[in-house]
Amino acid sequence: MTLRLIHLSDLHFGRDRPELMRPLLATLNSLRPDIVAISGDLTQRARSSQFRAARTFIDHISAPVLCVPGNHDLPVHRPFRRFFRPFSNYIRHISADLSPAWMHPDLAVIGINTMSPWRWQTGWATRREIREAARHCLSGPAHRLNVIVAHHPFELPGDSTKSPMINAEWGLKTLAEAGADIILSGHLHRWRVVSPPDPDAPAVLQIHCGTGLSNRNRGEPNDFAVIDIGSDTSDSDLTVTRWIATAQDVFAAQDTVRFHRGPDGWQSPAPLPGDVIPA
């Protein structure tokens, strides 16, 4: 049985490209995913109007949608609300569950809220959040693929000027030990697929999407990831395909990389394309 998961991130309604919204929705629905995961930054300034636009977008996706908040989903420029009611608009328009989970016998998609009004830019994966996600990972059969969704990455590229998320190293190790297989994240507006570099590293495949709709794409095309998950046995295969917005304002598949999960973790049976980076 094959399951399809689509990963979107950093839509940034309020700084979005309206001409891409219909093509993106049409492409998402034509791909017929089993679940769509959005790893935060649905809005630019956490305004009600921006959340309403995000809600309308989500409502036009045919598949179930799992969202977690990003730093731009908190009202950073309104100090009282930032510190005392940081998630009020998110809860009103998107979901009261800030760490949702979607369960299937062969696939678990588990959200982690990495947002804190005290660590707006850096992010903070609390030990409570990590342990709850680890509990979800441990709750299913051994063959099940466990996918974590978080806004902030658990690792940063070597040329990044950003500070690492609080508890990132401990969290990655804890999740890997609990059976997490993949982490989906955004925040950097940069596409990366990071495979485990060696047997001693946490055996977690990390997929970082850029931005699905924002005009703040930092020189990269708007994109999203399609993840096709193969068999329901302890050895499983998946493909990760990057879809990008073209100059004609349509989305098209660009690169695909295949991975096999065996006793020693994730391995790519084919040569890795340039945008698949060992950590």
Q: Name every residue whose Cβ is closer than 8 Å to that of residue 30 and which is 6 or more positions away in sequence.
A: none
> What is the model's pTM?
0.92
167-216 residue pLDDT tens: 999 999 999 999 999 999 999 999 999 887 666 666 899 999 999 999 99
pLDDT value at residue 122: 87
Alpha helix (H) residue ranges in the chain: 18-30, 48-59, 79-84, 88-93, 127-138, 168-178
Q: What is d(CA 174, CA 17) in angstroms, rounded to the nearest whole number? A: 38
267-276 residue pLDDT tens: 775 544 444 4
Bridge partner list, 147: 109, 182
Bridge partner list, 195: 278
Report the number of distinct structural domains present in the chain: 1
- 11: domain CATH number? 3.60.21.10
pLDDT value at residue 276: 47
Q: What is d(CA 96, CA 185) in angstroms, rounded to the nearest whole number? A: 20
Domain span at residue 28 reads 3-278
Strand order in the sheet with 182-185: 101-104, 107-111, 145-149, 182-185, 205-208, 192-195, 276-278
91-136 residue pLDDT tens: 999 999 999 999 999 999 999 999 988 877 789 999 999 999 999 9
Whole-number percent of the chain with pLDDT over 90: 73
227-252 residue pLDDT tens: 999 855 555 789 999 999 999 999 99
Chain centroid to CA 264: 24
Torsion of CA 46, 151, 165, 196, to 10 degrees: -170
